[in-house]
Structure 1
Amino acid sequence: MRETIVSGLQRVYREPLLYLTILLVVASLAVFIAYPLLMITKASFFNIHDGFDLTSYRRILAGGSLLTSLTNSFQLALIAATLSTVIAYLFAYVFAYMDVPFKKLFNGIAILPVISPPFVIALSAILLFGRQGFITRELLGITNANIYGLQGLILVQTLSFFPIAFLVLAGLLKSISPAIEEASENLGASRLQTFFKVTLPLSMSGIANAFMLVFIQSLADFGNPITIGGGYSTVAKEIYLQAVGSYDIQAGAALAVLLLTITAVVYAIQKYWVGNRSYVTVTGKPGAGRRMINSGWPRTVLFGFCLFLSFTVVLFYILVPVGSFIQLWGINYSFTLDHYRVVFSLGQKAIRDTLFLATIATFIAGFMGMIIAFLLVRKNFLGKRFVEMVSMLSIAIPGTVLGIAYIISFNQAPLAITGTAMIIVAAFVVRAIPVGIRSGITSLQQIDPSIEEAATNLGASQSKVFFGIVLPLIKPAFFSGLVYSFVKSMTAMSAVIFLVSARYNVITASILSQVESGRIGVASAYCTLLILIMIAAMLFLHLVVSRMGSYSQPSKAIRTVTAQPEPQTVKV
């Protein structure tokens, strides 16, 4: 025992910076992830005045608006996840199996939800199908159209989330070995029989992965329900209304804990399914490429469907910039720059604050993600399992849950940071850090550890090994993580909506304020500006990483994160 302690102390003495880094990482994860989750759980069970109290849980389970919000969220998530997965599978099948034009368009659509604000589709739906909608009022003459409610949410969530499911399924279908399908056809099976007996079973793990991913996204969605939900209450929206509108922190915390429990369970099921229900079709043996389908009515029908839906999505995204130049949608369609004048006058502070806070959070999340990935892949230390589990836990934490947890946890000494820039930056980092971790782990697993061991044997310290050897070797993953972190921070709303103050505001909160005030033109101008910033960030990634000799497409980096975990495979 004494020898073990002495040996440990000697290692700390030899590499003090390494162990100081480990200590700082563990402390940061404990303070900004584990501690808030413990505090929000405690707040849901304890009343400030009466101590232990289950009143909020009784209210939820007894019925009324709180239970309705839970059942509504389940209903919406099931419908949206089913529709999104079906549409995404059709898109992915056309992309992987058919010789059709415009495949780059499909990839571009897959990135749109990532780089856009969370309610662009909802704003477009209002402009098209609302009471003053262009289609409902101008083309069809319907004056009492109602896009608000369940039907509107199904539309906007499906259009918003199916591209994310497409990212999961497209890579999976492309990786299926054509040899197995050709063997089935050589044995006399028709193409349709091969699809149902071979292709579909081999892609079931990806289908389950995509479904679970969209289900979690829908449950945690806040922007669309608050924009277009109307009287249809969802749990994420109700958490916000209870905590901010009714000042009932305990009820909001109870709903948040239930939502967190649901998403954690669903995420665990996702990981279990993917880990145990996968298939290998690539054996390392050389084989011919897939024979693409280039004729027949199925190709015509599926390609027509995908093309129609693609242009529908593009139309929805284009409509927001168009609406930003319209004087008053549905009443006066004359060109105006008034909305941008409002944005660049009243919204200057929100723009500056968002850029400033997102930039800080981006570099913290980028470097911290690479450091944690390095520690998890290359080092063994006490607390490694804690770091691995807690650092990836934020994937399953809905933004509203994180926001209310931060309000509860950091509103009093010794961690009274509510209203400061630090709490917003912390929320940004926690939401974005899995990006860097997953990208870093994937890259590090492809690098031979002997390179780092050689540097260590030549006398290099761990810090010099990391910054001089490891980081340059994983530059593409590092920059992908940086840009994704920036995009995630710039478009974050559900968590920071609880944390903004008079001192610091963000663009997404300003957009929400304009939507609630009915100023759709100004909201569209904000969204357009935000999309332009996101596009510039993605172009920056392309420019920087392409000059490093090892270029990784942004969509691949995004898929690494959004499709957590990637479908692993076992031999059939």
Structure 2
Amino acid sequence: MKTTYLSKKWHGLKKLSKDPLLLCVILALLFALLLFIIFPLWKVCVVSFQVDGHFSFKNFSDVLTYSNGYYLKALVNSLWMGVATALIGTFVAYIFAYSLTRANIPGRRFFNLIATIPIISPPFIGALAVVMLFGRNGFISSTILGMENASAYGPRGLLFAQVMTFFPVAYITLRGVLESISPTLEDAAMDLGGNRFKIFLKVTLPLSIPGIASSILVLFVESLADFGNPLVLAGAKFPILSVQAYLEITGMGNFAKGAALAFILLIPSVSAYVMQKYWVSKKQYVTVTGKPTQSSNNVVSKKARWWLFGVCCAIAFFVILVYASIIWGAFAKSWGNSAEVTFDNFRYVFRVGFESILDTLAIAGLSTPVAGVVGMVIAFLVVRKKFMGRKFMEFSSMLSFAVPGTVVGIGYILAFNQQPFYLTGTLAILLLNFIFRYLPVGVQGGIAVLSQIDPSIEEAAVDLGADSNMTFRKVTLPLMIPAFFSSLIYSFVRSMTAISAAIFLVSANWKLMTVQIMSQVESGRIGAAAAFSLILVGIILCAMFVIKTFLKVKYHSTSSILTH
């Protein structure tokens, strides 16, 4: 058995040696994944267990005993917030997804748009809106309800912001799951005399369970990894672990304790990711009923349909309220004091923050295509080639999904703050962080697309004399355009809105808009922060349109070439 395994590996190596370019690409990618994903995490682990260069548990004992268990409370708060966000966010997302795929409610395109808008926004827009609506000078708390000294900070405000920020992530997953369940099963159960509620409990819900479990775990990881909302809303009375790790590094200069907090945060995040990827994702229920058909209106009663429509309207109202407050705040002369319309906030932004706008565009513009192409290459190698280290390449390239940005940022500081890899304060460290942090979407999308493409197309190109490089560029990559588009959009959006890892890596030479927004919030310039956020969203929407248009042209030209 062992001889057979080794002979297969040796055969694979011999095959790769005949294509030196392919071998070089594989070795270069494995080295890059080791250096820019595994090595920073390893440095976090090593430093967290070191005191004066020696192995020790002192950092962890200090964490447990510091100020009557303050950091232990931060861990409990983070886990509690992660669980609450995951459960409530998944519940809201399931109602939305079920209403749009099964209930045939009016305005489905509108509700779908509402559910996806938060994905392209900075992750702390929800926190900014909570302050503007429910804070001391909040529109609802102060203007409408007349409350004095109202506080938007603490667990309730943070939970609201987290759910508003992350439920769209669960919605996308759950909508795909519900659309993959053929409605003919529910119609058949209806024909056999089952009542609608029992059909939902016995047919639809059980088939949705893998998707629900996956969404809960993904939202749990997202909430643990979030940094922007807790930094604005958590406050000293409700500490969150990701924020405390950041404060230890930037405020106290205590890298060892910051690394220990990051290591503690890493454990539940990676555990939830492994469960989601290797356990829940394997338990998908498949219904072999042919091509999906439109659900009949009988599955949901007329009364339930209008009830679901009302719930969706309520959710949409809160999402619109969040973004309306940002727009209003950007144009208001003084939020909470004067509603006079002015462009002063935008003038201020372009006066003090124009450099950060240019820097953010440059960093996102440079990192996005690289992340997209590298993601497609890794997906191609993982699906189409057999070589030693293939499993490691897949796992390490997807690992960024599980690692909180705070951990990544601390890891990059520790890993690249000395020779031979001194990158601190440079453009390179920001680019590398964005490329390898947002790689997984391209890899995942590429793997999904390649699994549906018949390998014989590529084999025919090889038989006609094309090498691996030409086959990938001329045949495989054009067929992967949909996944490539998703990768580009995701990488660009996340690069433009990144905060948790990037806040550790910015310098006087390279600034980011998100860090500027956080600075404005901390300084109390809510209007300027809202104007910054509005400009950021506008840039993202324009870039998405350009990328989509460009790739459509490329896709149609490629299709015509392949057809002829």
Change (3 A) 1:44 1:32: same
1:517 aligns with 2:523: yes
Map of 2:170 onto structure 1 = 165
Matches within 5 A, 1:359-398: 359-398=365-404
Q: Residue in 1 aligned with 2:71?
A: 66
The alignment partner of 2:333 has SS state of: strand
2:23 pairs, out of 13, 19, 23, with 19
| Residues 1:228 and 1:292: Cα distance change in structure 2 (over 3 Å) | same
Deviation string, structure 1 residues 406-463 (Cα, Å, up to 9, x no partner): 0011100111111111111111011210111112112222222111111111211211
Q: 5+ residue gaps in structure 2?
A: 558-564
Match of 1:426 in 2: 432
Give SS of 1:324's match.
helix
- % identical aligned pairs: 44
Checking the alignment, whether the CA contact within 8 Å between 1:358 and 1:486 is kept in structure 2 is yes
1:535 aligns with 2:538: no
Determine if contact 1:105/1:310 at 8 Å carries over to the other structure: no
Counterparts of 2:284 and 2:451, CA distance in 1: 21
Q: What corresponds to 2:205 in structure 1?
A: 200
**For the residues of structure 1 that align with 2:346 and 2:537, how far apart are their CA atoms?**
14
Out of 338, 348, 360, which is 2:344 matched to? 338
Equivalent pair of 1:480/1:541 in contact (CA under 8 Å): no
Matched, 1:178 2:183: yes
Counterpart pick for 1:154 among 159, 178, 181: 159
Between 1:288-297 and 1:257-266, the stretch displaced more is 288-297
Q: Any conservation in 2 of the 1:59–1:66 contact (CA below 8 Å)? A: no
Cα deviation per residue 1:201-223 (whole Å; 9 max; x = unaligned)? 11111111111111111111100
1:92 to 83, 88, 97: 97
The equivalent of 2:495 in structure 1 is 489
Q: 2:268 is matched with which residue?
A: 262
> Does the residue aligned with 1:203 lie in a helix, a strand or coil?
helix
Matching of residue 289 in structure 1 with residue 313 in structure 2:
no
Which deviates more, 164-173 or 60-69? 60-69
Deviation at 1:513, TM superposition (A): 0.8
> Contact 1:113/1:164 (CA < 8 Å) preserved in 2?
no
1:212 aligns with 2:213: no
- Is 1:39 aligned with 2:38? no
116, 120, 129: which one pairs with 2:121? 116
CA gap of 1:373–1:288, structure 2 versus 1, over 3 A, is closer
C-alpha separation in 2, matches of 1:469 and 1:348 = 42
**2 CA distance for matches of 1:137 and 1:287?**
50
Tell me how far 1:273 sits from its aligned partner. Answer: 3.8
Please say which of residues 411-420 and 189-198 is displaced more in the overlay. Answer: 189-198
State the alpha-carbon separation in 2 of the partners of residues 527 and 473 from structure 1.
36
Which letter does structure 2 place at the counterpart of 1:34? Answer: I
Structure-to-structure mapping, 1:133-152, within 5 angstroms: 133-152=138-157
Instruction: Work out the CA distance in 1 between the residues paired with 2:313 and 2:10.
Output: 67
In structure 1, the residue matched to 2:445 is 439
Q: In the aligned structure 1, how far is the partner of 2:556 from the partner of 2:352?
A: 43
Report the Cα distance in structure 2 between the residues aligned to 1:178 and 1:155, rounded to whole angstroms.
33
Contact kept, 8 Å, 1:175 with 1:282, in 2: the verdict is: no
Match of 1:565 in 2: none
Aligned residue in 2 for 1:326: 332
Give 1:55's aligned residue: 58
Mapped contact 1:125–1:152 kept (Cα < 8 A): yes
Q: 1:451 to 1:487 in 2, by over 3 A?
A: same
TM-score by length of structure 1 reads 0.92
Q: Contact between 1:92 and 1:166, CA under 8 Å: does it hold in 2?
A: yes
Q: Confirm or deny: 8 A CA contact 2:161 2:229 kept in the other structure.
A: yes
Amino acid at match of 2:47: A
Distance 1:476 1:69, change over 3 A: same
Indicate the larger mover: 541-550 or 412-421. 541-550
CA distance in 1, matches of 2:208, 2:516: 42
Alignment correspondent of 1:303: 309
SS in 2 for 1:513: helix
Could you tell me which of 321, 331, 334 is aligned with 1:315?
321
Does the residue aligned with 1:327 lie in a helix, a strand or coil? strand
Contact 1:424 1:499 in 2 (8 A): yes
Any unmatched runs of 5+ in structure 1?
A: 552-572
- Matched position secondary structure for 2:151: coil
**Residue identity opposite 2:149 in structure 1:** N
8 Å Cα contact 1:178-1:289 kept in structure 2: yes
In the alignment, the residues of structure 2 paired with residue 12 and residue 268 of structure 1 have an alpha-carbon distance, to the nearest angstrom, of: 31
Distance 1:15 1:287 in 2: 43
1:60: how far off? 2.6
**Aligned pair 1:187/2:192, yes or no?**
yes
The 1:524/1:385 distance shift into structure 2, 3 A limit, reads: same
Whether the 8 Å CA contact 1:205–1:278 is kept in 2: the answer is yes
Shift of 1:320: 0.8
Q: Does 1:221 align with 2:226?
A: yes
Q: CA RMSD in A?
A: 2.1
Deviation at 1:543, TM superposition (A): 2.2
In 2: Cα distance, 1:86 partner to 1:484 partner? 24
Does the Cα contact within 8 Å between 1:172 and 1:206 map onto a contact in 2? yes
| Deviation of the 1:538 alpha carbon | 2.2
Q: CA deviation at 1:61?
A: 3.0
Q: Report the CA distance between 1:188 and its aligned residue.
A: 2.6
Change (3 A) 1:457 1:247: same
Deviations 1:163-197 (A, max 9, x none): 21111111211221223223322333211111112
Residue type at the aligned position of 2:131: I
Q: Secondary structure at the match of 1:280?
A: coil
SS at match of 2:438: helix
Q: Distance in 2 between matches of 1:533 and 1:297?
A: 42
User: Displacement, 1:483?
Assistant: 2.0
Change (3 A) 1:515 1:465: same
